[in-house]
Amino acid sequence: MEHNTDIKSLSLDELKNAIGKLGEKPYRAKQLYEWMHVKLARNYDEMTNLPKGLREKLAEQYEYTSLKEVAVQTSKIDGTKKFLFGLADGNIVESVWMQYHHGNSVCISSQVGCRMGCRFCASTIDGLERNLTPSEMLDQIYAISRSTSGRVSNVVVMGTGEPLDNYDNLIQFIHMITDGNGLNISQRNITVSTCGIVENMRRLAEEKLQITLALSLHGSTQAKRQELMPVANKYEINEVIDACRYYFDQTGRRVTFEYSLVGGVNDTDEDAENLCSLVGGLNCHVNLIPVNPIKERDYVESERRDILNFQNKLEKRHINATIRREMGRDIDGACGQLRRRHAQAMRSPVQY
């Protein structure tokens, strides 16, 4: 999809320009933007206060991104919903809706597939198919808002894909989802999670946004990280931590470290000690995630005792650490497993 033909990826200023070129008045751009980004219209036909002629002209010249709900699963434990959405080209992405006391949170995908190759992650097994456009990222939230009839107050870019490997589209998406003329979600309620692409972490810091940066660390030494994350062959662990420090210095935002605990791999006392030395002194928060075993790999979750012990070790050194609540465990695990299962089912229906 050409960027300039994808109308829902245009900012309000860009849209005003486009509408001007069609010989229309600027207020039409405002109306159109509101239909797309506030009223969350599914197509041009719903935009009843726009003249039919204009709607036809738009339909001829601009693609209108509207994701198709292919499947939804609802957790019986906590009400978490996982959505599979079909894109215009037939690709499928996965998004998750979670209810918390402080509001509703949506986890979106940023790419179809992923090329980062983290060993324990299901999203990367078939590699990267393509980047998502800003409108495809927005529409995951729009489609979920319509389906759940509730306001989304938090967005985490932690679904399939590496957001900093799709940098420009990510930034456009963030500007649009936080725009006062759109859903107006607070920047502070947006988290972008990266496996650690250093130059783009630094670029992001310089955007001076108030979003939270989460770094997937998963190993507390260069060697341990390399075992689990091929990206660590490109960026040395200290460079990555320096980029986190830079992010904090530029934005004043506390960085989150994600650390998936893998039984017998990165959950020992020594691992905890190394982690303390690595991040001590940094204004940060550590999120411990019991690894979600995927059937393609033989990694196992750490023992509960080891997880609590690991957290304890960090807290003793005054490093703020929480164990992530596992939402929707009963509905196909997290991290690309739902999409993968769906894709496999389509290839061989007997397994479904």
Structure token pair of residue 28: 């039409």
Site string for ligand SAH, 90-119 (x = CB under 6 A): --------------------------x-x-
At 131 the three-state DSSP class reads strand
Residues 314-333 that bind ligand SAH (CB under 6 A): none
Per DSSP, the three-state class of 295 is: coil
Longest dimension (CA), the chain: 69
* 191 beta partners: 156, 212
What residues contact residue 101 under an 8 Å CB cut-off, 6+ apart?
none
Q: Is 321 left (phi over 0), alpha (psi -120 to 50) or beta?
A: beta
Between 133 and 287, name the residue whose CB sits nearer to ligand SAH.
287
Binding ligand SAH (rule: CB under 6 A), the pick from 94, 258, 267, 332 is: 258
Q: Which is nearer to ligand SAH, 134 or 290 (CB)?
A: 290
Q: How far is the CB of 291 from ligand SAH (least distance, A)?
A: 4
Residues 289-318 that bind ligand SAH (CB under 6 A): 289, 291-292, 294
Closest CB to ligand SAH among residues 118, 155: 118
335 is catalytic: yes
- Give yes or no for residue 166 binding ligand SAH (CB under 6 A): no
Q: Helices (H), strands (E): how many in the chain?
A: 11, 12
Q: Which residues pair with 82 in a beta bridge?
A: 73, 96
What's the N-to-C CA distance of the chain in angstroms? 32
Tokens of 190: 């947006």
The answer to whether residue 284 forms part of the interface with ligand SAH (CB under 6 A) is: no
The catalytic position among 94, 129, 162, 301 is: 94
List 193, 212, 256, 311, residue binding ligand SAH (CB under 6 A): 193
Catalytic positions are 94, 335
- In the complex, the residues that contact ligand SAH under the rule CB under 6 A are 116, 118, 120-121, 158, 162, 193-195, 216, 258, 260, 289, 291-292, 294, 335
